[in-house]
Structure 1
Amino acid sequence: METERLWIRRFSAEDWKDLYDYLSQENVVKYEPYSVFNADQARTEALRRSSDAAFWAVCLKSNTKLIGNIYFRESEPKAFGTWELGYVFNPEFQGSGYATEACKQLLSYGFEHLNVRRVIAKCNPENMQSWKLLERLKLRREGHFMQTGYFKYDSNGDPIWHDTFSYGLLRSEWLNRVE
């Protein structure tokens, strides 16, 4: 897929260096269910993502550098037509509208070509950049769930529980939106 400034494509194993550039940063993976990646882990992950249809590489048209990724996968049961959206971007390229541009393109593709009925997304309420992006994309905050899970542990080995904002958007809302 193509936007004004971006290519959105499937991952390749060769993407590992650009993937490592951002997944090796603690501030990037703070809200993710994994820790920072080393170079070997980034190689393995790029290879894994190259065969996982849920992951999309977001690259600059100007130099083909991978600057982030979008997760877009159909949820079970498939008969419900619900897909989940997620994203992680290199902070070096944040604040320029790339994530908004890429996610809009993928939402358009989902609603208009895949016949997606509903898109959902979840994020930690502390991750203001994430929920502001979801709201720019016109997803509706549908809930604030308390202590829904944990990915990390404190220095005593106790879980660090996090809250979750839940968002949703229907195809009819997307098709009737006013830009």
Structure 2
Amino acid sequence: MEEFATERLIIRRFRAGDGEDLHDYLSQEEVVRFEPYGVYDEASSKTEAVRRADDPAFWAVCLKDSGKLIGNLYFQQQDPPQFQTWMLGYVFNGRYQGCGYAVEACRKLLTYGFGTLGIRRVTAFCNPDNHRSWHLLERLKLRREGHFLQTGYFKHDEYGNPRWHNTYAYGVLGSEWMEAHQAETAE
């Protein structure tokens, strides 16, 4: 099983027993506000943990000292495969946001993707209203490549009308990532 360690984190595959910790953050409205789903109840969280244990796109992010699951990364190859493009996503427990855990976890997974898997390009998308998300992507040195208006909707207002959202598109090439990473380690 693939597992990565950083200074403070373990990044590993999901386990069927991760439902309680998954519920701890998927039950927070502020955490799922920009996600294509609503809050999860305990039963749904347990079911989702089992599903993610069989889905190689999801990575559990856990505190190294306690093993507590505090968030997840999504890292999936996009079609067509010959384009060697992967999509990055992330969701973190609100009680652990603002501590640098997401940057630490994403950096480790991106370095693995570009260095070991030989990925050519990584993309990420977020709602412009989700300031924490696009600040994270910019801290990771992804480039904002587009601002698209009313690209879709996940949720509805109290009258049943779609709540259209805008999207920022980000990307980085493997060559850019590796060059920037080498420059960081040389300092």
The TM-score normalised by the length of structure 2 is: 0.95
The AA in structure 2 aligned to 1:151 is F
Distance, in Å, in 1 between the alignment partners of 2:35 and 2:178 is 31
Quote the residue 1:98 is aligned against.
101
Identify the match of residue 134 of structure 1 among 127, 133, 137. Answer: 137
Quote the residue 2:42 is aligned against.
39
The AA in structure 1 aligned to 2:26 is L
Is the Cα–Cα contact under 8 Å of residues 19 and 46 in structure 2 kept in the other structure? yes
The AA in structure 2 aligned to 1:167 is Y
Quote the residue 1:84 is aligned against.
87
- Tell me, which stretches of 5 or more residues in structure 1 are unaligned? none
Quote the residue 1:115 is aligned against.
118
Distance, in Å, in 2 between the alignment partners of 1:100 and 1:52 is 22
- Tell me, which stretches of 5 or more residues in structure 2 are unaligned? none
Identify the match of residue 59 of structure 1 among 62, 65, 83. Answer: 62
Secondary structure (helix, strand or coil) at the match of 2:12 reads strand
Secondary structure (helix, strand or coil) at the match of 2:5 reads coil
Shift of 1:59: 0.2
Shift of 1:74: 0.1
Shift of 1:4: 0.6
The AA in structure 1 aligned to 2:82 is A
Shift of 1:3: 0.4
Deviations 1:46-95 (A, max 9, x none): 00000000000000011000000000000000000000000000010111
Query: Structure 1 stretches (4+) deviating beyond 4 angstroms?
Result: none
Secondary structure (helix, strand or coil) at the match of 1:8 reads strand
The AA in structure 2 aligned to 1:73 is Q
Quote the residue 1:155 is aligned against.
158
Distance, in Å, in 2 between the alignment partners of 1:155 and 1:98 is 35
Q: Sequence identity, in percent?
A: 62
The TM-score normalised by the length of structure 1 is: 0.99
CA RMSD of aligned residues (A): 0.5
Q: Does 1:19 align with 2:59?
A: no
